[in-house]
């Protein structure tokens, strides 16, 4: 359940960054790179907390962390490809 909550948080963070960033006037590419860096840092922190506090092994955290990082980034890639100005 924790994994689903964190993935949901990532999707909400992505939506907020894109919405607010575009309202402020940042280009989408800058927002995309910023989100990927921020989400990677938050995913690594989440994995470290899982290892230290919950006692999860590194192999489990790598698999779960890949999903936690990958789903919002995949949504970002899908959004970027679907919303190109052509």
pLDDT tens figures, 2-53: 999 999 999 999 999 999 999 999 999 999 999 999 999 999 999 999 999 9
**Residue 25: φ, ψ to 5°:** 115, 15
For residue 44, the enclosing domain spans 2-82
**Number of domains, the chain:** 1
| pLDDT for residue 84 | 72
d(CA 9, CA 38): 13
Cβ–Cβ under 8 Å, residues 17 and 35 = yes
Q: pTM for the complete prediction?
A: 0.90
Cα–Cα separations (whole angstroms), residue 53 to 10, 46, 81? 21, 10, 38
Question: What is the token pair recorded at 16?
Answer: 């907020």
Number of DSSP helices (H) and strands (E) in the chain, helices first: 3, 0
């Amino acid at each position: 359940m924790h994994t689903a909550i964190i993935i949901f948080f990532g999707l909400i963070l992505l939506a907020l960054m894109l919405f607010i960033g575009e309202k402020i006037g940042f280009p989408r590419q800058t927002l995309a790179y910023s989100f990927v860096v921020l989400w990677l840092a938050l995913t690594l922190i989440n994995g470290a907390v899982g290892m230290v506090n919950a006692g999860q092994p590194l192999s489990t955290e790598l698999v779960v962390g890949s999903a936690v990082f990958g789903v919002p980034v995949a949504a970002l890639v899908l959004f970027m490809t679907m919303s190109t100005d052509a």
